[in-house]
Amino acid sequence: MTALARMAGAPGIWKPFAGGTDLMVLLEAGKLPHRKFLNIWKLPELRGIVVTPTHVSLGALTTYSEVRRSEPLVQEFPLLCRAAVETGSVATQNRGTLGGNIANASPAADSPPALLVYDAELELVSASGTRRVPFHGFWRGYKQLALRGDELIGSIYLPRNKKDWRQFYRKVGTRRAQAISKVCFAGTAWVEAGRIEDIRISLGSVAPTVLRATGTETVLRGQQPTPEVVRGAQEALACEISPIDDIRSTSRYRLLVAQNLLAEFCESLTA
Amino acid sequence: MPEELHKVRVQCEINGKIVSLEAYPMARLLDVLREQVGLKGTKEGCGEGECGACSIQLDGALVNSCLIPLQQADGAKIRTIEGVAISGKLSAVQQAFLEHGGAQCGICTPGMILAAMNLLERNAQPTEDDIREGLSGNLCRCTGYTKIVESVVEAWRSARRAV
Amino acid sequence: MAIENRHIGRSVPRKEGREKVTGASRYVDDLVFPELLHGATVRSAVPRGRIRGIHFGKEIPWNEFTIVTAKDIPGKNCVSLLIEDQPCLANDFINHPEEAIVLLAHPDKYLLEEARRAVHIEAEPLPAVFSIEDSLARKHIIWGEDNIFKAYHVEKGDVERAWGDATFVVEGEYETGAQEQLYIEPQGMIAQAEPGIGVTVWGSLQCPYYVHKALVRLFGLPKEHVRVVQTETGGGFGGKEEYPSMIAGHAALLAWKSGKPVKMIYDRAEDMAATTKRHPSRTRHRTGFTREGKLVAMEIDFTLDGGAYETLSPVVLSRGTIHAAGPYSCPNVNIRSRVVATNAPPHGAFRGFGAPQSVFALERHLDRASEVLGLSPEELRRRNFIREGETLAVGQVIREKVEMGKLLDRALELSGYHEKRARFAAENPRNTIKRGIGFASFLHGAGFTGSGEEHLASEALVTVTPDGRVQVLAGSTEMGQGTNTVFAQIAAEAIGVDCEQIEILQPDTSLVPNSGPTVASRTTMIVGKLVESAALRLKHALLESGFLKGAFTSEQFGQACRQYIGKFGALQALEKYKHPADLHWDDGKYQGDAYGAYAWAVYVAEVAVDPRTAEVRVEDFVAVQEVGKVINPVLAAGQIEGGVAQGIGFALYENVVWQEGRMMNGQMTNYIIPTSMDVPKIRVFFEELPYARGPAGAKGIGELPLDGTAPAIANAIAHATGADVREIPMTPEKLTELLERVHA
């Protein structure tokens, strides 16, 4: 693959370029320091949705439109489809890719919370081989990826083990379409006899990266979601997230809404 | 802004015609269409992929041309507003916009019509909610969208009647 | 005698519609000129300061560039409007962020942008003022002697004495924020000059003669040497009323100095940062009611933030002041208003022009008052609606038929108001999503205030070609609202030919007369009337000549034109505005007949509020208005629908984030206007009580929808949640705080 060879030859110099929905905006604003752009848009190795008994794998160049239309994803990973529907607009969805979204590492990204509550894994490819890493932890800090200068995100793997879990996704944006999120909440939970046996919670726009609220998960794991338990979880959440004031919203609003969405999720688990 | 120093040549089909284009690889397709091909119907409203005034169809998909670098249009089939009417005959969507007030100042109209046609190609009988979702990437400041939605409904209904 | 209208009242398709739906319309950025240069503007980074130096970075080949500063201005360095306080290019002092200082032109757009970033303005900062409070407190004097551009005082009856008659007194303070017009086509101009001789500009604009006047002054040229042509304009809403004079001046100065045509198109970021916005407002009400809820005393204090220069602020203040007391009858009214200077880019015209601000305050205040009085909001309005023969706050006697009660009935019925009002109140306690329904009742005066139309002295010309085409020449511009089509319908009806036979000429100051600006909801009502009268006179001339008989076909009409022109030369009728003799306005006392006609309206908004996120959705919207005569139903409804959508943005979404006079969220990603998913189907209904002085009885409607939409929504939110809404935009962040107070 000549793309990988190029990147191996000059690590960090080449900026991989997929659908351009983020990068073209930055380029026009003069905010991309790179001078060499590697067009990966048509690379067949990075496309396609494959279903195996244990996983559904999505090529990094899978667009949001493709996610929305994919029957296996609609069936087993509906939160990812919800996220895709709420990303931008039709034109953005036709060009925006999951890999590009992950690489851009915006703390307000819409799909990563869904990916995280599905325990997604990433396959990273380079001229020297491939490696598989959990998506959780891939973002080290604000816009910092655990990605080498010669690597591309190749695929996203979704283990097919959440089918019977409860699923919840809610994005609170500036308006109903074409909106950057103010708070984004994704949750999956395995509930048996009223008890939360296992749980995953992820939020966007309340920290320097999209995060897994593992502390909050711990408070809820093994519990019945009574109002008292939920209040405890909300307190734990307040300790885990660090929402800020910015031009779209306030830290106070984000905290309140994050806690309300957590309560909404927990309430849905009692049904 | 073109970063790479050497221009590239790409070939694509625009409104049914094969065209050869030369520009910097990161040049915006919007600019190339307007300035090199002379197709002024596609508009710039924001330059950041938010308003949809630059919407075109690229290989059958609705896209914002202000976000497409020219090198990615190589070998593509492109339709702009100029390619919608066939031999001067307005499409059902255009006719409906004309009769039902879908266009006021007209600046969002080319993108809006492409978006509407794109929607109807995928969903021949969309509900009002489907229409509002399908057009949500095209901002209009004049109409408040009511007559745009009515125009799209009328377009598919009249297309059905014509069959 | 009832003659059925052939064209009036029909939804004739938009005259330039075919070009618009095929992408054939040519907006300014679509035009190509040989040897075109692109123009760019170097702007101030400080809100207030003294220019100490201008430094040009070494990496740019400056000898390739045309560079213009204030020193290059041949005439007066000003953007001539009401007064001449605003410079075209800042010379010594800077008074707002983004103020224009240096102009550059070059054939390469990209190099031009690099060059723009390479010019450094050395400025010694001066202390600045950013709020109404600081400006009024004279923290620093930044304009004139006291920071006040203009003040008005309206007095009716004796408010001080009237407090004694009030059983209830209700007070409140209300605020509205800045709003960006966000026409989808940014500001743009192309200028060509014969250096030393003349200037021509083509561009996106609403008022060709405003631009003309400004260029004459800027260049010190005779009027005949300046030509302004309006290109197809992609939205204006007032944002292209005054500002085009500035950008036209800039493009023309570059053309003058370079000897080449210059195109200047703002990108969205520059447009939002540097151009006008709706004036932010603060209104204080103190209102006295009798036990039965009748208005007995209204004390209103109304303040607008005007930004750094006067521009049109006195007129915005005027309209806001006159509309502040609404469509109600109150014997004692005292309105004190003022517009003050701050170090922000000057605020300017935006559809509604002061009235949306004062009407928001009044209609929200009356709903709050109704709670205190123990009356329903609609009963309070009913008991106070003005009737024929009664007087408005400025003393204008209502001499037209007014049926506010009927409009209210109709609006409440169409929206299911009573049933929903009760049902929502009953269901909300057990539902997660809270629903509410609220309304606003209001009026909007069409045309320029008081003696304004008289001073404008507008003209319109109708002429015919030898082959029978009728041409309408007017300075009024089409920007989507339907000017071309409505004028064609009016002329066709008056003469008795088909609409297709009417040609509306492109507004070009070398060809068309000055019909006044395309603003103030005046184009159909005032200029349309001139077109109607001119067309009638032209027809009469043909009839009287004997070449045309009473009933005629198109061919016969064409033949008659040919014969008339052959015998007499040209055939044309120029109609000049005549101010009605029975309209009297006293500018000194600010009393009298403020407007020739008012449109009257009741708007009802239904909302759903999610208390978990404080998001508000407008679920249904009913707009009922009495407008004299609907000339084109599709176009008229389109005006209301579009205005309501802008009002929804004003109420809920459109928040300008300010930091020291600078707009921080100047991108479409972060300045939020509604998408198609954020507004419901907007339901529009008209009543018609023909206005004798309007063409076919029509009044003006363009701005009306901006007045009542936001307060109807605010009242609905209050009904849904109990939140005491006092300001807009009512963003979820702000609503969250109000909801907490409700639960406390």
Tens of pLDDT, residues B101-153: 999 999 999 999 999 999 999 999 999 999 999 999 999 999 999 999 999 99
Which residues lie across from C254 on neighbouring strands?
none
Helix, strand and coil percent figures for chain C, each rounded to 5: 35, 25, 40
Residues B116 and B140 in one domain: yes
* pLDDT for position B160: 86
Chain B hits for C643, CB-CB cut-off 8 Å, are 144
Average pLDDT of the residues of chain C: 97
B23 in any annotated domain: yes
Specify the number of domains making up chain B. Answer: 2
Catalogue all structural domains in chain A, each as residue range(s) with its CATH number: 2-159 (3.30.465.10), 166-270 (3.30.390.50)
Residues B67 and B134 in one domain: no
* Over residues B47-56, mean pLDDT: 97
Question: Cα separation of C246 and C244, whole Å?
Answer: 5
Longest dimension (CA), chain B: 54
Whether B3 has a pLDDT exceeding 60, the answer reads no
* Over residues C672-696, mean pLDDT: 98
* pLDDT for position A26: 93
Chain C hits for A182, CB-CB cut-off 8 Å, are 732
Residues B119 and B139 in one domain: yes
B2 in any annotated domain: no
User: Which of A27, A36, A91 is closest, CB to CB, to B63?
Assistant: A91
Q: Exposed/middle/buried for C297, CB within 10 Å: 0-12, 13-18, 19+?
A: buried
Which residues lie across from C156 on neighbouring strands?
C333
* pLDDT for position A1: 60
* Over residues B85-90, mean pLDDT: 95
CATH number of the domain residue B103 falls in: 1.10.150.120
Q: Tell me if chain B has a CB within 8 Å of the CB of A36.
A: yes
> CB–CB of C84/C217 below 8 Å?
yes
Question: Cα separation of C93 and B20, whole Å?
Answer: 52
What residue ranges in A40-165 does DSSP mark as E strands?
Answer: 49-51, 55-59, 121-126, 129-134, 139-141, 144-145, 152-159
* Chain B, nearest residue to C19 by Cα: B106
Chain B hits for A27, CB-CB cut-off 8 Å, are 1, 3, 26
CB contact under 8 A, B61 and A65: yes
List the structure tokens of C644.
């309501």
Whether B5 has a pLDDT exceeding 80, the answer reads no
CB contact under 8 A, B101 and C637: yes
Residue pLDDT, tens place only, A36-72: 899 999 999 999 999 999 999 999 999 999 999 999 9
Catalogue all structural domains in chain C, each as residue range(s) with its CATH number: 17-25+452-576 (3.30.365.10), 31-126+182-274 (3.30.365.10), 281-449+589-743 (3.30.365.10)
> CB–CB of C42/C119 below 8 Å?
yes
* Chain C, nearest residue to B94 by Cα: C21
CB contact under 8 A, B49 and A35: no
* pLDDT for position C3: 62
User: Which of A17, A34, A92 is closest, CB to CB, to B137?
Assistant: A92
* Over residues C582-595, mean pLDDT: 95
Helices (H), C201-295: 208-219, 243-258, 268-274
B1 in any annotated domain: no
CB contact under 8 A, A65 and B66: no
List the structure tokens of A155.
């695929």
* Over residues C281-310, mean pLDDT: 98
DSSP category for residue C609: E
Residues B39 and B79 in one domain: yes
B58 in any annotated domain: yes
Residues B26 and B56 in one domain: yes
* pLDDT for position B1: 40
Whether C509 has a pLDDT exceeding 90, the answer reads yes
CB contact under 8 A, A95 and B63: yes
Share above pLDDT 90 across residues of chain A, in percent, rounded to a whole number: 94
* pLDDT for position C445: 98
CB contact under 8 A, C615 and A172: yes
DSSP category for residue A71: H
Q: Exposed/middle/buried for C562, CB within 10 Å: 0-12, 13-18, 19+?
A: middle
- How far B143 CA sits from the closest chain C CA (Å)? 4
Q: Exposed/middle/buried for A160, CB within 10 Å: 0-12, 13-18, 19+?
A: middle
CB contact under 8 A, C665 and A260: no
- Place C1 in a pLDDT band, splitting at 50, 70 and 90: very low
Residue pLDDT, tens place only, C237-257: 999 999 999 999 999 999 999
Question: Cα separation of C643 and C162, whole Å?
Answer: 38
Q: Tell me if chain B has a CB within 8 Å of the CB of A88.
A: yes
Question: Among residues C101, C97, C98, which one has the least CA distance to residue C88?
Answer: C101
Residues B74 and B100 in one domain: no
Look up residue C512 and give its amino acid.
V
Residues B13 and B79 in one domain: yes
- Place B4 in a pLDDT band, splitting at 50, 70 and 90: low
List the structure tokens of C579.
């101010």
* Chain A: touching chains (3 or more CB pairs < 8 Å): B, C
Residue pLDDT, tens place only, C369-409: 999 999 999 999 999 999 999 999 999 999 999 999 999 99
CATH number of the domain residue B52 falls in: 3.10.20.30
Q: Please, what is the angle between helix C313-322 and helix C355-373, to 10°?
A: 30
Question: Cα separation of C106 and C39, whole Å?
Answer: 7
B3 in any annotated domain: no
Residues B21 and B49 in one domain: yes
Residues B78 and B106 in one domain: no
What is the number of other CB atoms lying within 10 angstroms of the CB of residue C371? 14
* Chain C: touching chains (3 or more CB pairs < 8 Å): A, B
Chain A hits for B67, CB-CB cut-off 8 Å, are 19-21, 24-25, 95
Q: Tell me if chain C has a CB within 8 Å of the CB of B1.
A: yes
Chain B hits for C669, CB-CB cut-off 8 Å, are 48, 50
In three-state secondary structure terms, C109 is helix
Whether C739 has a pLDDT exceeding 80, the answer reads yes
> CB–CB of A257/A182 below 8 Å?
yes
- How far A39 CA sits from the closest chain B CA (Å)? 8
Residues B133 and B155 in one domain: yes
Question: Cα separation of B85 and B92, whole Å?
Answer: 9
Domain containing residue B23: 8-83
For tokens 């998001």, the residue is C615
Question: Cα separation of C573 and C531, whole Å?
Answer: 9
Q: What are the angstrom distances between the C-alpha of C208 and each of B142, C226, C244, C525? A: 21, 11, 9, 19
Share above pLDDT 90 across residues of chain C, in percent, rounded to a whole number: 98
Helix (H) or strand (E) holding C536: helix C528-545
- What sign results for the dihedral spanned by CA atoms C375, C377, C378, C383? positive
Helices (H), A62-104: 64-69, 71-76, 78-85, 90-95, 98-104
What length is written for chain A? Answer: 271
Looking at B59, B83, B107, which one is the last position of a domain?
Answer: B83
Whether A162 has a pLDDT exceeding 90, the answer reads yes
* pLDDT for position B159: 87
Given phi > 0 = left and psi -120 to 50 = alpha, else beta, which region is C731? beta
Residues B122 and B73 in one domain: no
Range 80-99 of A in CB contact (< 8 A) with C: 89
* Chain B, nearest residue to C482 by Cα: B104
CB pairs under 8 A between A and B: 84
Strands C168-176 vs C281-289: parallel, antiparallel or unpaired: antiparallel
Looking at B26, B50, B83, which one is the last position of a domain?
Answer: B83
B59 in any annotated domain: yes
* Over residues A248-252, mean pLDDT: 98
Helix (H) or strand (E) holding C599: strand C597-610
Looking at B60, B83, B106, which one is the last position of a domain?
Answer: B83
CB contact under 8 A, C613 and A174: no
Q: Which of A24, A170, A184, A248 should one mutate to test binding to chain C, selecting the residue with the greatest count of C CBs within 10 A? A: A248
Residues B68 and B118 in one domain: no
Whether B2 has a pLDDT exceeding 60, the answer reads no
List the structure tokens of C382.
């009913």
Whether B9 has a pLDDT exceeding 70, the answer reads yes
